[in-house]
């Protein structure tokens, strides 16, 4: 048994998984899973740089994670940084901060590597089949198709934070803003599906997907054990996206399963998910709580 620590630093959140990996390749055992909304990608689509206050928010969260990694005795650590740090001109400043806090540099992975890690984490525990795995992040969405291994993968710059900052400026968004976002998303989704192809089943990852699933299940609070592998119809996803886009951020905060740091961008995230399902022709999405974070942990075996 090996205790490992995986950190996923995306555009919107930074997450930690400390887990025990069995020597026989069996299921990993969670020691702790945590998430902080740090909005590292704040303004990156517009400015091309990571904001100093965003780097500082991330530093504070990462320092807490580093303390826990040491206390829990993880012997292997891997931190992956994704869309925001790929795009930023001052990525070196961010990498130096991480190295100073964590003692190891972050890996700024390509979109293809991000997709492979997401796929590995997502499909473990699902019945053998050919899956389209979509990981909707803050800055980008990864599309990957495969069965036991990845067949094709592509990353597109249509994340919930990026689309909100680019198009959805009003609260709630205007019909023209929503139409512009839908067109932008649709173009990217069509291009992605032309590259990776379609599959019999769609698995959706990350906070936008799991929050939509929680809303569809009408949960009184966010319950990962209820959300994991829940199936939500395309009809319901589309209706939820329309509902969320018609609400103000303050109104979204009244939804019991809504994380406060996601309320302003969930409309865009739900719209991305609905567009993927519609363009793919899928009847439903399988929501997964296991994603790139689990893939990072497995890579340390």
Minimum mean pLDDT range among 82-91, 127-136, 181-190: 82-91
* 297 in a structural domain: no
Domain of 235, CATH number, reads 3.30.420.150
Considering the domain architecture, whether residues 201 and 269 belong to the same structural domain is answered as: yes
> Of 44, 73, 108, at which residue does a domain stop?
108
- Compare 275 and 112 and report the one with higher pLDDT: 275
Average pLDDT value for residue range 183-205: 94
Residue 82 pLDDT more than 80?
A: no
Considering the domain architecture, whether residues 180 and 141 belong to the same structural domain is answered as: yes
* 116 in a structural domain: yes
* 173 in a structural domain: yes
Distances (CA, A) of 15 to 78, 133, 171, 188, 206: 12, 20, 28, 27, 11
Average pLDDT value for residue range 130-148: 90
> Of 60, 93, 108, at which residue does a domain stop?
108
What pLDDT shows up at residue 113? 81
Give 241's pLDDT tier (boundaries 50, 70, 90).
Answer: very high
Distances (CA, A) of 145 to 111, 120, 159, 230: 14, 11, 19, 20
Domain of 48, CATH number, reads 3.30.420.40
What pLDDT shows up at residue 249? 95
Considering the domain architecture, whether residues 96 and 135 belong to the same structural domain is answered as: no
Considering the domain architecture, whether residues 252 and 154 belong to the same structural domain is answered as: yes
Q: Which of 71, 96, 271 is nearest to 172 (CA)?
A: 271
Give 83's pLDDT tier (boundaries 50, 70, 90).
Answer: low
User: CB–CB of 164/268 below 8 Å?
Assistant: yes
Percent over 70 (pLDDT), the chain: 99
Instruction: Give the span between the Cα atoms of 272 and 160, in whole angstroms.
Output: 8
Place of tokens 């769609």: 202
Mean pLDDT value across the chain? 91
* 301 in a structural domain: no
Count of the separate structural domains present in the chain: 2
Considering the domain architecture, whether residues 82 and 189 belong to the same structural domain is answered as: no
Considering the domain architecture, whether residues 172 and 68 belong to the same structural domain is answered as: no
Domain extent at residue 272: 112-288
Considering the domain architecture, whether residues 83 and 116 belong to the same structural domain is answered as: no
Considering the domain architecture, whether residues 151 and 198 belong to the same structural domain is answered as: yes
* 245 in a structural domain: yes
Residue 210 pLDDT more than 70?
A: yes
> Of 108, 128, 158, at which residue does a domain stop?
108
* 294 in a structural domain: no
Give 187's pLDDT tier (boundaries 50, 70, 90).
Answer: very high
Give 286's pLDDT tier (boundaries 50, 70, 90).
Answer: very high
Question: Which of 20-24, 111-115, 125-129, 164-168 has the highest mean predicted lDDT (pLDDT)?
Answer: 164-168
Instruction: Give the span between the Cα atoms of 115 and 154, in whole angstroms.
Output: 7
Question: Which of 20-24, 34-38, 138-142, 163-167 has the highest mean predicted lDDT (pLDDT)?
Answer: 163-167
Considering the domain architecture, whether residues 72 and 219 belong to the same structural domain is answered as: no
Considering the domain architecture, whether residues 47 and 119 belong to the same structural domain is answered as: no
Give 23's pLDDT tier (boundaries 50, 70, 90).
Answer: confident
What pLDDT shows up at residue 240? 98
* 36 in a structural domain: yes
What pLDDT shows up at residue 28? 84
What pLDDT shows up at residue 125? 77
Give 25's pLDDT tier (boundaries 50, 70, 90).
Answer: low
Residue 31 pLDDT more than 80?
A: yes
What pLDDT shows up at residue 258? 93
Residue 119 pLDDT more than 90?
A: no
Question: Which of 37-51, 93-107, 150-164, 227-241 has the highest mean predicted lDDT (pLDDT)?
Answer: 227-241
Distances (CA, A) of 22 to 25, 73, 122: 6, 16, 18
Considering the domain architecture, whether residues 234 and 128 belong to the same structural domain is answered as: yes
- Compare 27 and 232 and report the one with higher pLDDT: 232
How would DSSP label each residue in 251-301? HHTTSTT--GGGTTTHHHHHHHHHHHHHHHT-SEEEEES-SHHHHHHHHT-
Average pLDDT value for residue range 113-141: 86
How would DSSP label each residue in the chain? -EEEEEEEE-SSEEEEEEEEEPTTS---EEEEEEEEE--TTTTHHHHSS--HHHHHHHHHHHHHHHHHHHHHT-SEEEEEE-HHHHH-TTHHHHHHHHHHHHSS--EE--HHHHHHHHHHHHHTTSPS--EEEEEE-SS-EEEEEESSSEEEEEEES--HHHHHHHT--SSSPPHHHHHHHHHHHHHHHHHHHHHH---SEEEEESHHHHHHHHHHTT-SS--HHHHTT-EEEHHHHHHHHHHHHTS-HHHHTTSTT--GGGTTTHHHHHHHHHHHHHHHT-SEEEEES-SHHHHHHHHT-
* 95 in a structural domain: yes
What pLDDT shows up at residue 72? 96
Average pLDDT value for residue range 213-222: 95
Considering the domain architecture, whether residues 123 and 102 belong to the same structural domain is answered as: no
What pLDDT shows up at residue 1? 80
């Amino acid at each position: 048994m090996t205790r490992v620590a995986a950190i996923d630093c995306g555009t919107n959140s930074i997450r930690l998984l400390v887990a025990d990996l069995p020597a026989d390749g069996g299921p990993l055992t969670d020691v702790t899973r945590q998430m902080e909304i740090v909005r590292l990608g704040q303004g990156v689509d517009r400015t091309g740089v990571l904001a100093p206050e965003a780097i500082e928010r991330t530093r504070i969260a990462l320092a807490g994670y580093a303390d826990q990694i040491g206390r829990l005795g993880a012997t292997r650590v891997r931190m992956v940084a994704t869309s925001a740090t790929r795009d930023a001109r001052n990525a070196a400043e961010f990498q130096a901060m991480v190295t100073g806090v964590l003692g190891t540099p972050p890996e700024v992975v390509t979109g293809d590597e991000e997709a492979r890690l997401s796929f590995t984490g997502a499909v473990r525990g699902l019945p053998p089949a050919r899956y389209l795995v979509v990981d909707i992040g803050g800055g980008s969405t990864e599309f990957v198709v495969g069965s036991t291994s990845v067949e094709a993968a592509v990353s597109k710059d249509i994340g919930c934070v990026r689309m909100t900052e680019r198009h959805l400026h009003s609260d709630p968004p205007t019909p023209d803003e929503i139409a512009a976002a839908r067109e932008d998303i649709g173009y990217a989704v069509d291009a992605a599906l032309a590259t990776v192809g379609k599959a019999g089943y769609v698995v959706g990852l990350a906070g936008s997907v799991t929050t939509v699933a929680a809303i569809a299940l009408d949960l009184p609070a966010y319950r990962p054990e209820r959300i994991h592998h829940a199936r939500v119809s395309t009809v319901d996803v589309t209706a939820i996206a329309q509902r969320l886009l018609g609400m103000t951020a303050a109104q979204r905060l009244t939804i019991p399963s809504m994380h406060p740091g996601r309320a302003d961008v969930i409309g865009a995230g739900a719209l991305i998910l609905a567009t993927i399902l519609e363009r793919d022709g899928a009847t439903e999405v399988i929501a997964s709580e296991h994603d790139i974070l689990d893939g990072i942990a497995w890579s340390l075996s």
